[in-house]
Amino acid sequence: EPSTETPFGDSDFVVVANRLPVDRDPDDENHGWRTSPGGLVTAVAPVMKAQEGAWIGWTGVADEEFEPFTIDGMHLTPVTLTSEDVLRYYEGFSNATLWPLYHDVIVPPEYHRTWWDAYVRVNERFAHKIAEVAAESATVWIHDYQLQLVPLMVRRMRPDVAIGFFNHIPFPPYELFAQLPWRDEILRGLLGADLVGFQRPADAANFRRAVRGRLNFSTKGSTVLVPAGEAVAAHVVRAEAFPISIDTPYLEELAKDPGIIERARQIREDVGNPKVVMLGVDRMDYTKGIRHRLKAYGELIAEGRLNVEDVVLIQIATPSRERLEQYKIIRHDVELAVGRINGEQADVGSIPVRYLHHSYPRDEMTAFFLASDVMLVTALRDGMNLVAKEYVACRQKDDGALVLSEFTGAAEQLTGAVMVNPHDIGNLKAGILEAIEMDDKTRARRMRQMRRKVATDTVSLWSKNFLAELNHLKHNPEAVVPD
Ligand code: GDG
């Protein structure tokens, strides 16, 4: 019997990410869910509330179907993953194939056809959900490497919607990307979007080069000319950089909170009130350069260039992807290194590394930022690195120094940091000493400059810019086709 319903859904603005911004909490009266605050939520929540918005993603719970629900004014539409999907699409193809490949093959990526099949299947599931909930001419914003096939799938089903994609991690150089057995499918998938955003101009350039090299499509500036293909009309795609940022006003507010300031003082006292407190905050991930950082620090102590009575390193490493072999290895290596340094370099009254394998509430994290004189961000490769920006936002007295790897997206923005090449242990040691010994005036000048940068470039501005550009492209497609 003919349906009187339109083939469209109700949402004018649809955010799509692997995870919904919630965690299970059976005690909570909100249908058993608690929102997990993060930069992306802050950035898109106002847009979702202003328009009829929806967020599509996985709940983090396998093998269970959930009905759509509303929490903090956001309409959430769960996508179901089976345990096998989690194994093959999420832990497998997303985190053991794409993640290492896109981070300069720091560990070897694994290529398995069964993982790829699951990736296609789950991407299709997301695309169908989008086609179902998106209103006519809606704006759809798809996030990250787990969903790179979704843009083309949605364009085929729903040519009326505006499709944006943002890649939160690096896009690798062509020579590395070319290893991927499914490289052409990934490129075609991304080119289903009207706008593909990357962290750095270099990531966008890597992508356009791969498109030219593999698909032979021509590019002009940041525009890719996509000819008509299987079930899609010819169109243009913009690929360019939109460096992500943080919710600066919120962090500045927290950093002024007397309770949090008091907690910071207490943390310093708990570690023995040394002259210098250094801090690392990372997910426990092999991309973050935690081992390199510990190696440099351990050598500085062993050589007597740092004194265990004067300095403490607090290393927070939050548990991450713990079922994956490479994550078991990095955790083991980090814990071995911490044990060695503390065993060899400590005396009974001082412990050079305070290692914390936990996650903390945002307030406590802010107290750690406030308690630390030197922040160490030594990633071997990182799309942006928000921790670096968060530290800067909290240092409202313009004290504190940031040691920052040149292999982070943040390095292009936080130019007042002490830049290091974490592969070069000598250089890393010199950077740590430079940060510790920097005179107050220089430290203040450099921090002030970085703080201005994060005060202007907030995550709200980032999403506003991305969505404005997407909207412009969809409504003036002829304006973006270069002669
Ligand atoms: C990916 C890209 C890109 C960490 N532990 C706790 C906690 N965190 C927060 C940090 C920060 C966030 O998690 C981590 O963001 P990063 O940017 O540092 O790194 P990834 O997780 O690898 O993020 C990265 C980012 O996406 C955004 O596009 O910058 O390059 O790899 O906000 O503070 N927060 C709380 N407790 C913890 O224990 N509350």
| Closest Cα to atom 23 of ligand 1 | 385
Ligand 1 centroid – CA 316 distance (Å)? 12
State residue 150's pLDDT score.
Answer: 98
Pocket probe mutation, ligand 1, options 41, 244, 283, 457, max atoms within 8 Å of Cβ: 283
Ligand 1 centroid – CA 384 distance (Å)? 9
Q: DSSP class of residue 408?
A: B
| Closest Cα to atom 6 of ligand 1 | 359
CB-based contacts of 119, cutoff 8 Å, min separation 6? 88, 89, 93, 94, 149
| Closest Cα to atom 33 of ligand 1 | 387
Distance CA 13, CA 139 (A): 5
State residue 4's pLDDT score.
Answer: 55
Ligand 1 centroid – CA 114 distance (Å)? 30
Ligand 1 centroid – CA 86 distance (Å)? 21
Average pLDDT, the chain: 94
**The residue type at 245:** S
Ligand 1 centroid – CA 85 distance (Å)? 24
Ligand 1 centroid – CA 414 distance (Å)? 17
User: CB within 6 Å of ligand 1 — which residues?
Assistant: 168-169, 244, 281, 283, 318, 359-362, 365, 382-387, 390
Q: Taking Cα atoms as reference points, which of 92, 147, 142 lies closest to residue 120?
A: 147
Q: Could you tell me whether strands 69-71 and 223-226 are parallel, antiparallel, or unpaired per DSSP bridges?
A: unpaired
Nearest 10 degrees: Cα torsion 458, 463, 464, 470 = 150
Residue 398 in tokens: 């313009």
Q: Given strand 69-71, what is the order of strands in its sheet?
A: 69-71, 74-79, 53-58, 11-19, 134-143, 162-166, 195-198, 235-241, 223-226, 219-220
Single pTM value for the model: 0.96
DSSP-derived 3-state class of residue 442: helix
Ligand 1 centroid – CA 387 distance (Å)? 6
Q: Convert the pLDDT of each residue in 20-59 to its tens digit.
A: 999 888 777 767 888 876 768 777 887 888 888 999 999 9
For residue 354, the cross-strand partners are 314
Between CA 471 and CA 128, with CA 151 as vertex, the angle to 5 degrees is 110
Residue 250 pLDDT greater than 90, yes or no: yes
State residue 6's pLDDT score.
Answer: 63
More reliable by pLDDT, 36 or 163: 163
Buried residues in 453-465 as b, exposed as e (16+ CB within 10 A): bbeebbbbebbee
* Ligand 1 atom nearest to 358, measured from its CA: 38
| Closest Cα to atom 19 of ligand 1 | 385
Residues 350/394, Cβ–Cβ less than 8 Å: no
Query: Has the ipTM of the complex gone over 0.95?
Result: yes
Residues 409/448, Cβ–Cβ less than 8 Å: no
